[in-house]
Chains A and B, each alone.
Chain A
């Protein structure tokens, strides 16, 4: 099963770079990121700023750990958890017709206008889930059985 081991490397690298890239702008502009979280209208006000402060660093740590391949069981589990939360938040807001760019509901939101970028984000994040799930399976089951817990 050499291909499984070989495929886990690009999967780690892709997700690692994506997480690092995604974290940098958020770390540089915490105020803007807090505003974006507010626009999602999912978290209570009390949790918006703590999330804006901590989440980008969590993404950065996960990205770095994925790249260098340490603490993989915990890293891969949290990576999948974050991907699922991001995707869930977007699908939830797409379903209730909320534009996350402005935090505004629109009862007239239809495919083709403001909803179009949201659909694209959902598709993009769904694609990231694929290497995420593969890594989770590889790290928690295949690798443990083949080599024992690292």
Chain B
């Protein structure tokens, strides 16, 4: 029993020293490197937007509903092909984030640069729509907006969804 306690005391002491060494090295190097990160950061999408102003804006569900109904914006679903096939915002086309590179030429050929684009995915912390929106901005689209947690919000509001029969609105390369 005494030997066991001695072993665990010894192990814990070494573990604490190793943790302290890692903290010292990590915080020290981060302090002096040019690309270090802030010790504490706000990870909300609003804070990320404020860091990179102009790339894209957020859109409310109500505004998105009006834009979909009036067909005044192109809706892009950034989720997977499979998720899109099982259900999507009625006016949305599919541009899965993981195939974005291959399909982006198809997007620029189909959608004029001055068009308003609404990008969405699913979940408050889902970053797919943000990745796609940012890429669209750097491809020259200046009116890109993100509908945060778009699919869930749209479903919960009972707004029109697809697929409809003969629905073929995926973006192709």
Contact = CB atoms under 8 A, between A and B. Distances in A.
A149 B23 CA distance: 26
Given A34-B37, A52-B37, A78-B18, 19 more contacts: A30-B37, A31-B37, A38-B43, A45-B41, A45-B42, A45-B44, A53-B36, A54-B22, A55-B22, A56-B26, A58-B26, A74-B15, A78-B19, A102-B126, A104-B121, A104-B126, A105-B122, A108-B80, A149-B6
Given A108-B83, A113-B82, A77 B11 contact: yes
A99 to B, nearest CB: 9
Interface stretch (B27-35, B57-65, B67-75): B27-35
Interface in B64-109: 79-80, 82-83, 86, 97
A138 B80 CA distance: 46
Given A74-B11, A102-B131, A114-B80, A30 B43 contact: no
Nearest to A72: B14
Contacts of A77: 11, 14-15
B111 interface: no
B interface secondary structure, majority: helix
A71 to B, nearest CB: 5
Give 5 closest A-B pairs by Cβ, nearest first.
Answer: A74-B14, A104-B126, A58-B22, A54-B26, A73-B11
A61 B22 contact: yes
B154 to A, nearest CB: 14
Contacts of A71: 14, 17-18
Contacts, number: 122
Contacts of B79: 104, 106
Contacts of B30: 30, 53
Interface of A: 27, 30-31, 34-35, 38-39, 41, 45-46, 48-50, 52-58, 61-62, 65, 71, 73-75, 77-78, 102-108, 110, 113-114, 140, 144, 149
Contacts of B126: 102-105
A103 B80 CA distance: 13
B125 A74 contact: no
A27 to B, nearest CB: 8
Nearest to A31: B37
A104 B129 CA distance: 10
B95 to A, nearest CB: 14
Given A31-B37, A75-B14, A104 B123 contact: yes
B39 A50 contact: yes
Given A71-B18, A102-B126, A140 B7 contact: yes
A77 to B, nearest CB: 5
B21 interface: yes
